[in-house]
Amino acid sequence: MSKVALGHESLVGSLLPSNKKSYKVTNRIQEGKKPLYALVFNFLDARFFTVFAVAGGNRITLYNCLEDGAISALQSYSDEDKDESFYTVSWACSVNGDPFVAAGGLKGIIRVIDVNNEMIHKSLVGHGDSVNEIRTQPLKPQLVITASKDESVRLWNVETGICILIFAGAGGHRYEVLSVDFHPSDIYRFTSCGMDTTIKIWSMKEFWTYVEKSFTWTDDPSKFPTKFVQFPVFTASVHTNYVDCNRWFGDFILSKSVDNEILLWEPQLKENSPGEGTSDVLQRYPIPLCDIWFIKFSCDLHFNALAIGNQEGKIYVWDLKSCPPVLITKLSHHQSKYVIRQTAMSVDGSTILAGCEDGTIWRWDVVTK
């Protein structure tokens, strides 16, 4: 277990906005009556950078952000199970580069939708409980990882429908896993966090032959020799409560608990003793009225900024390139008063979307001076 390094005071950001960028509301859509738990832009394919997917109830909808604030609906998928409630959605793609959307939630089944022909490409079955988050490997976007209430993380090949690796057991999470994220440049590494208050870093390096085998496997996917991985390379305790969102920021990690703040910290692994090391908390980004779980932040493609909503419908936009932290702006509108579960920043950060508890999608666009 990592220790939090002493002697380093972390830098806390001021809630006084710098206003070096300002945004205005350009659209608001009533998506439905169900809470919207996830929305995400496509960062994998430059042809679709303006396209985003939304999860709410048993439905996944794809939209396009047009010029001048307009949003056009492209297609919608309703799950055959009326009681399904999707909590998470992620873009992926086939080996040929065709866009896929992977969605999961209450029922624990991951639906992989082939966007071009509007059909289910695969249904990934294996988790014993609900799926809280899906993330795609940016360097190999046929691979997704899923965080589940069943205390495991699974690695899947969405092209072939194979469950390649299961990360659980002796060194795994002891409660629901809430968030996962692939390292941006180290293809073997990812991080996971959850209700047990820990953040774990895992390595797939010694199991990579299984990954390669998943692309050439021609037999029934259920006969694939799925491998259990029981030990992470690092476990950190930088929070004292549920950790519901974690993202790599280079080799640093941004993580959020239910304590009205996001932390930026550095995991320092000990080379010869797996699982051990120190965690140096460098910066703290305060988020007022953000102390319930399942509120997630998002960043633009190049990690210049971070956007997060709160319990009363406000959005805080933090500059990730400044030290100490600088609040770029706080977004609020008198009609936006419901919990914002997830935001989505566009590739260049010029558009920010918010998915709300009342089933609305809000679009904010940067004001060009």
> pLDDT at position 231, please?
95
The confidence band for 317, taking pLDDT boundaries of 50, 70 and 90, is very high
- Residues 84-90: what's their mean pLDDT? 98
- Mark residue 121 as left, alpha or beta (left: phi above 0; alpha: psi -120 to 50; beta: remaining): alpha
Please give the Cα distance from 33 to 61 (Å, whole number): 14
The confidence band for 278, taking pLDDT boundaries of 50, 70 and 90, is confident
pLDDT digits (tens, 9 = 90+) for 330-367: 999 999 999 999 999 999 999 999 999 999 999 999 99
Domain ranges of the chain: 11-366
> pLDDT at position 275, please?
67
Computed over every residue of the chain, the mean pLDDT equals 95
User: Domain 11-366, what fold?
Assistant: Methylamine Dehydrogenase; Chain H (2.130.10)
> pLDDT at position 146, please?
98
The confidence band for 32, taking pLDDT boundaries of 50, 70 and 90, is confident
Q: pTM for the full model? A: 0.95
71-78, strands of its sheet edge to edge = 36-41, 51-56, 59-65, 71-78
> pLDDT at position 9, please?
80
The confidence band for 368, taking pLDDT boundaries of 50, 70 and 90, is confident
Using a pLDDT cut of 90, give the percent of the chain over it. Answer: 92
Closest Cα to residue 305, out of 332, 289, 325, 280? 325
Using a pLDDT cut of 70, give the percent of the chain over it. Answer: 96
